[in-house]
A and B are shown apart, each in its own frame.
Chain A
């Protein structure tokens, strides 16, 4: 097969994936991605466990050591069918605490300690590097197989050149889709769907090759079984230590590998999907491994003695002249490699940016300073991390020369990440586990892993000299890397696994037993271990006496979550407290929710640090400590209902209090208004009466009659206008208003409104910022009414904006079936205590003479918007006074 055709096929394949990911992200933004969050897609995305190592390497593994390759799949099978024990709890914790990565889980459980996050991140990156190198190596090798098969086409390129192209291409794809935006939950729908498609491709490819081998080359299953017993594989004997050790290892890896944690916990959109995955994922890996042995057996028979068994999946079909089947197999292997690299680098980049870059950057800032544009910084650091991780993988590939047997490299990685297992298990099942214990365990396990397995894997004299390998450091035989403490004759891998995990566990337990946890650790420990207990026993860390207002938090949240997300979240929180608007009270529970929400973007430790910067130090209340110390959780379960009622009561009380405040203020305003309106009515009345009396006297020159007549006319006009406004309002309020629905262009309406509002204080020159292309939307609504609202808002800005160089921003956005129009000026804004009042009738903030109107404008606006099926609200946290008008794109007649 010509090499250029191969390159073309790979590029076409990647382009299709790209398109799928793009399409899915787009439809997810429009809220139409329901079917994409199905259990099937979730299960298929878990198949990122099956990398190129399993796709190509399993056959090689089977050819070398018989059925032992099955251990790599049986371990995960046990974990998944035992989901009720572990995975269910892990997923629940992940969702409740908005965990972003495995490092975040460990750091969050042990008192939001960032040091632990850093340790886990470093371990994961170290362990993943050889694994990524392995994927690059396999893709490069598979390119090599095709290119060497024929002489035509392009010359076979240098392996290094292929690898660098593959690494670069993957970096670009991952950056484009993994870090497009800072998702609230760190979920990447597009990428996950692309991974699910790759899962199907690799399964179909492997099964197709398997069917070809069993029924095309051999003579059905019976023949295959006979061939197995006739081959070298029949001499394989199950070694108990490797069999159990490797099953344990793969079971540990499936939950500790950063990429598995990413798809299993972080990308999980519904806990119920786990129930399906509990059997569907084992079924997937069963099908992946069903044909491994047949392919290996037939490959051993057909291929010359020196052939690389790792590539049988490709070379067997090629040797039979099945070019297109080999092509499919190639795409399967390519899928396996790309999906692993993409997910692993996303997961690792999240960890690096949340646990290393962000805390470092935060520590550079003076305390209490509200951070600048954090989103851009986070995204940039993730992008750089992805590139750096792939570069590391490439460097390892170059450095190692890519010769070692594949299974070995994969298992070295597995043992590395398995070091997280004791801290993770202890963290979610044992409340007594402490941060110090976790730190001891992780460090000791990691050190032993590096010393006994990772460094020796570079070969003698690379890191550890041959002398140290043979006789131990300084000639101490007791410390030989592959025979630690005088244990001889063990398989090196099992030896490393045994010592690292057991000493890790001992250190973890000893550290936990000997040290005393700090309060945050204890609260988090209870929250994690008792995650299923009725009320989320939350780590209440914030005290209400903080001086910071909700607006400070809003400004910070906007910089991390983005304007819309943050405003939506604050609005929902305010609603839950029984308040309207965008600013909830900064209660402890609100701050805790906010912290969790931010943790979903930047990790628990960073979110905690950022909120502390604004709110001051976190305090654990006496009640919480009592709950921790006295196992009060059980009592709380019984009093749960009571608490709920109490919450309901206090919510109602808050609503009542708000309503009462409003009423009191309104009654004051109303009194003021009554005297005002009497005055307003009286003044024209007095002049009308006076002038009409003069007119009835007669004997006046005609020009005087005309003059007095005009005065009377003007004054009645003023009266009528006032009465019209009042009448308009009462019609709108009673809901009997007539609407003329028709299609209107938003830009035309804003143009008209700007022109009409220009008569208000025409001496002020306003700079208007508009987004003309964005405004070009056709809306089905009552155009006159909507324009009236716009006129009102713009003339308000003209009247009250107190800036020397007044500016008005009008921005239009479409989201789902709704349109939002924001009017933001650069004045000094409206004080928080007045914000609730401005939409009430007769409410005026400045003194009445300046305003000129009767204070009905915004009240009318609110009623108009309500009858148009939309809303109008004051938008806090902007740089000036800001109003947001929201209305449906197509208004239906009620």
Chain B
């Protein structure tokens, strides 16, 4: 038995979805660190209020993307549920 080298479209999409979920925090770090770069150069021109608006906007956008990804990922996971961990008494609770 060997894993196939290429996947059918559905499986392919799911893998890319996972890639997106993995890449999102890297994008987040980049966007959040960004004000540091422009803050240094022109400190007199920067205004705290616009920094704040930028950060909150980035924050909200990241949350929205994360929400979309989480929905797609969990609906994809429902098709092939991960093997549930051993829990005998827990289910009785």
Hey, which bits of chain A sit against chain B, CB under 8 A? 28, 31, 33, 66-67, 70, 74, 77-85, 92, 95-96, 184-185, 189, 225-226, 228-229, 233-234, 236-238, 240, 243-244, 247, 269, 271-272, 275-276, 278-280, 282-283, 286, 290, 293, 536, 565, 568-569, 572-573, 593, 596, 638, 641
Contact = CB atoms under 8 A, between A and B. Distances in A.
Given A31-B92, A81-B25, A238 B39 contact: yes
A81 B55 contact: no
Given A77-B28, A286-B59, A565-B89, A67 B52 contact: yes
Given A77-B28, A78-B29, A568-B88, A275 B74 contact: yes
Given A81-B28, A81-B62, A229 B51 contact: no
A593 B89 CA distance: 13
Given A233-B48, A279-B70, A283-B63, A244 B77 contact: no
A271 B82 CA distance: 10
Interface string B32-48: 11011001100100111
Contact of A272 (B32, B46, B48, B77): B77
A238 B89 contact: no
Contacts of A641: 1
6 contacts: A33-B93, A80-B66, A184-B89, A228-B52, A233-B48, A596-B86
A645 B55 CA distance: 55
Given A81-B24, A240-B36, A282 B93 contact: no
Nearest to A270: B84
A282 B62 contact: yes
Contact of B92 (A83, A568, A573): A568
Interface string B61-93: 011111100110110010000100111111011
B22 interface: yes
A351 to B, nearest CB: 22
Contacts, number: 125
Given A84-B22, A271-B82, 19 more contacts: A28-B93, A66-B48, A77-B62, A82-B25, A84-B21, A84-B73, A189-B93, A228-B48, A229-B47, A234-B49, A275-B71, A276-B74, A282-B59, A282-B62, A282-B63, A282-B66, A283-B63, A565-B89, A641-B1
A79 B43 CA distance: 30
A96 B90 CA distance: 13
Main secondary structure of the interface of A (DSSP, over half): helix
A229 B49 contact: yes
Interface of B: 1-2, 18, 21-22, 24-25, 28-29, 32-33, 35-36, 39-40, 43, 46-49, 51-53, 55-56, 59-60, 62-67, 70-71, 73-74, 77, 82, 85-90, 92-93
User: A-B pairs with the 4 shortest C-beta distances?
Assistant: A82-B25, A279-B67, A84-B21, A279-B66
B25 A85 contact: yes
Nearest to A277: B70
A275 B73 CA distance: 8
A811 B2 CA distance: 58
A623 to B, nearest CB: 21
A67 B66 contact: no
A243 B88 contact: no
Contact of A593 (B46, B82, B86): B86
A225 B22 contact: no
A228 B85 CA distance: 52
Given A185-B90, A240-B36, A67 B60 contact: no
Nearest to B58: A74
B63 A81 contact: yes
A279 B77 CA distance: 17
Contacts of A275: 70-71, 73-74, 77
A78 B21 CA distance: 12
Contacts of B74: 272, 275-276
A85 B88 CA distance: 28
A74 B32 contact: yes
Nearest to B81: A272
A67 B89 contact: no
Nearest to A230: B49
Contact of A240 (B29, B40, B64): B40
Nearest to A573: B88
Contacts of B28: 77-78, 81-82
B55 A70 contact: yes
Contact of B33 (A185, A244, A278, A569): A244
Contact of B25 (A66, A78, A229, A279): A78
A293 B47 CA distance: 14
Contacts of B52: 67, 228, 293
Contacts of A85: 22, 25
Contacts of A83: 21
A243 B38 CA distance: 14
Nearest to B1: A638
A297 B63 CA distance: 26
A82 to B, nearest CB: 3
